[in-house]
Copies of this chain bind each other. A is one copy, B any other.
Amino acid sequence: MKATILHAPGDIRLDEVPDPVLVAPTDALVRVTASCVCGSDLWPYRGINDVAEPTRIGHEFVGIVEEVGAEVRSLRPGDFVIAPFMYSDNTCPHCRVGIQSRCSHGGFWGGEDRDGAMVDGGQGEYVRVPLADGTLVSTREVPDDSLIPSLLSLSDVMGTGWHAGVAARVSEGDTVVVVGDGAVGLSGVLAAARMGAERIIAMSRHASRQAVARDFGATDIVEVRGDDAVAAVKELTDGVGADAVLECVGTNESMHTAIAAARPGATVGYVGVPHGIEYPVRDMFVRNVGIAGGIAPARQYLPQLRDEVLAGAINPGAVFDLELPLTEVAEAYAAMDERRAIKSLLRP
């Protein structure tokens, strides 16, 4: 089959690789009908994370079940399934409290499983899915093609934005600040709106992203950064600060902006992978500003968000503004790297 391989920073190609086969009786084989490129895929693509050897890549996909192992109970060939960005058994103590991203037997796509068997990346034609019952979430019928972008977004960005909202404890009537206008930040805006936020202040300097943010429910846009952004939030909230803040970037500056924009007693829900963060320990203590979040348990939110997408209640797929055939995966990366696209969707 064809699968995407990152050979070196900037060198991404669709290569011929061995067809995957079932290895464990809990595996399923999925034919990928849509996948996409994540902001986090850009870290190794840009060389910020090491690329020691050619690596399978991609961790967001939907598709059709082709074959299941003897112990798979909840799926059968022909089912349409959504894969979260990590696989998990959904039965261990961490999964049972909803932290599937820390599953005792789970892991990431594009590496080796705990038995040393290859786990495919999502940006390919087929994927062997370990722990299929715990990992995949199916729909009753194969959904209409127009819903694919929104269902695919539940693999990662929408589940991650939702997690930021849950972690920040967004409640009905809240004033919410969202730091970050990437696909996750925009999904965070949609999550906050769906959770009943009355006012959503999105930080964005890009007209196209501002437009999506407004579509998703942002009521105010702040175009400045750092202290100026905090001052703008204070001005919009009578000097009080936000009831909840979603941090969807992960840099030291964005985290400090998020914490400073939070009102006393508020929580910053963060999902941006931390890069060089030093928390303002004393300020957080004096103002009772908490932080919560981390690698999103996308699996936890999948059934609920799937139902909301199928019901037409949310359209998180609007974050995709570029669609390409899998053969043009290199352009899908380049467009995101050069900020010509918010998020690229790939079809076989």
Contact = CB atoms under 8 A, between A and B. Distances in A.
A288 interface: yes
Nearest to A267: B292
Given A94-B265, A281-B279, A99 B274 contact: no
A114 interface: no
The 6 closest A-B pairs by CB, nearest first: A290-B292, A288-B294, A102-B264, A99-B265, A99-B264, A285-B294
22 contacts: A93-B238, A94-B264, A94-B265, A97-B263, A97-B264, A99-B265, A102-B265, A102-B286, A102-B287, A167-B288, A267-B290, A270-B285, A278-B278, A278-B281, A284-B291, A284-B294, A285-B294, A285-B295, A286-B295, A287-B294, A288-B294, A290-B292
Contacts of A97: 263-265
A98 interface: yes
A282 interface: yes
A292 B293 CA distance: 12
Determine the main DSSP class of A at the interface with B.
mixed
A117 interface: no
Nearest to A276: B281
A277 interface: yes
Contacts of A102: 264-265, 286-288
Contacts of A288: 99, 101-102, 167, 292-295, 297
Contacts of A287: 102, 294
Question: How many copies of this chain?
Answer: 2
Contacts of A285: 270, 273-274, 293-295
Nearest to A284: B294
Interface of A: 93-94, 97-99, 101-102, 167, 238, 240, 263-265, 267, 270, 273-274, 277-279, 281-282, 284-295, 297
A48 to B, nearest CB: 15
Contacts of A264: 94, 97, 99, 101-102
Contacts of A295: 285-286, 288
Nearest to A163: B288
A210 to B, nearest CB: 28
Nearest to A273: B285
A263 B94 CA distance: 8
Contacts of A289: 294
A293 B265 CA distance: 8
Given A102-B265, A240-B93, A265-B102, A293 B293 contact: no
A291 B294 contact: no
A251 to B, nearest CB: 12
B93 A265 contact: no
Given A270-B285, A274-B281, A279-B279, 17 more contacts: A93-B240, A93-B263, A94-B240, A94-B263, A98-B265, A99-B265, A99-B288, A102-B264, A267-B290, A278-B278, A278-B281, A284-B291, A284-B294, A285-B293, A286-B295, A287-B294, A288-B297
